[in-house]
Amino acid sequence: MPTSDNESPPVYREIAEELRAAIASGRLSDGDRVPGENDLMKRYGVARATARQALSVLINEGILVPIRGSGVYVRAFRPLRRHGPRRLSRELWGSGRAIWQADAADRSFEIDDVRIDEVPAEAHVARALAVAEGTMVLRRRRRYRLDDRPLQLASSYLPLDLVRGTAIARVDTGPGGIYARLAELGRAPAHFTEEIRVRMPTPAEAKALRLTAGTPVLDVLRTALTSEHTAVELNEMTLDGSAYVLQYDFEA
């Protein structure tokens, strides 16, 4: 039984650590209901506020998920390893495979909520694509799901005069996706640059990605350029920070 003194972690953190250990060992697995506040109060002889804090720690970490009227359940999820260089290789999309296949391997992924429209380029989009602010561009918005869990929101911006009337302006862009279609137009991506930052989500993002309280998101801003360093796409991605491992390999 946790018994904190002045040099030990608070009792609620000790209880949370015991629950975390039970999940890590497999004694509690994905979908299992964990002891509720009443159970924790009896088991550890603590006040309701302490039991509630213990559960909140793991809920905020994304390990547990509360279901109203039912209880609190384990949400064990194997993080998706996002390998920056490998997923963008021409060998992948040039052979008709989707970029996500490099990440998901044999796991079940899908793209939903695809929306395509023509919008005036905001300042940051205009800078990335080297066009005047307000120039009309094609925007492709979509959501990615893995193992039936929403993981990522993405918005691609492309020069309208390049892609209007092509498969890129359709919901299904075909084998290899946008980059394979750009290659067919003679504008194959040859260079990529990515910027990454961490922040807290907006309410709309939290809802779309089903994020629990306290879960941050990763903003990834990627620009695709041709061999002549002409920008052909700006992709703004918002990733569930609890669901990803980012991997980048470099030569010394």
Give residue 6's pLDDT.
55
pLDDT tier, 7 (very low <50, low <70, confident <90, very high otherwise): low
CATH number at residue 190: 3.40.1410.10
Does 220 fall in a domain? yes
pLDDT tier, 196 (very low <50, low <70, confident <90, very high otherwise): very high
Same domain assignment for residues 106 and 223: yes
Structure confidence by residue, pLDDT tens digits, 216-249: 999 999 999 999 999 999 999 999 988 888 887 7
Does 238 fall in a domain? yes
Structure confidence by residue, pLDDT tens digits, 45-91: 999 999 999 999 988 877 888 888 889 988 766 777 777 676 777 77
Give residue 76's pLDDT.
62
From first CA to last CA, the distance across the chain in angstroms is 49
Give φ, ψ of 167 to 5 degrees.
-65, -20
> CA 128, 129, 132, 136 torsion: positive or negative?
negative
Boundary-marking domain end, from 74, 94, 109 = 74
Give the pairing type, strands 149-159 and 136-146: antiparallel
Strand ranges (E), 70-148:
71-74, 80-83, 109-120, 136-146
Same domain assignment for residues 58 and 118: no
Give residue 8's pLDDT.
61
Beta carbons within 10 angstroms of residue 122's beta carbon: 12
CB burial string 192-204: b at 16+ within 10 A, e below: beeeeeeeebeee
* CA–CA separation, 169 and 136 (whole Å): 14
| 16-25, 52-61, 70-79, 120-129: least confidently modelled range | 70-79
pLDDT tops 60 at residue 38: yes
Structure confidence by residue, pLDDT tens digits, 141-183: 999 988 778 999 999 999 999 999 999 999 999 998 999 999 9
Q: How many domains does the chain have?
A: 2
Residue 210 structural domain: 80-247
Q: Percent of the chain beyond pLDDT 70?
A: 90
Cα 128 to Cα 53, 133, 156, 157, 226: the distances in Å are 45, 11, 12, 10, 13
Average pLDDT of the chain to the nearest whole number: 88
Cα 59 to Cα 19, 41, 88, 207: the distances in Å are 11, 18, 34, 16
Token pair for 106: 């044999």
Partner residues linked to 144 by β-bridges: 111, 152
Same domain assignment for residues 63 and 96: no
Does 5 fall in a domain? no
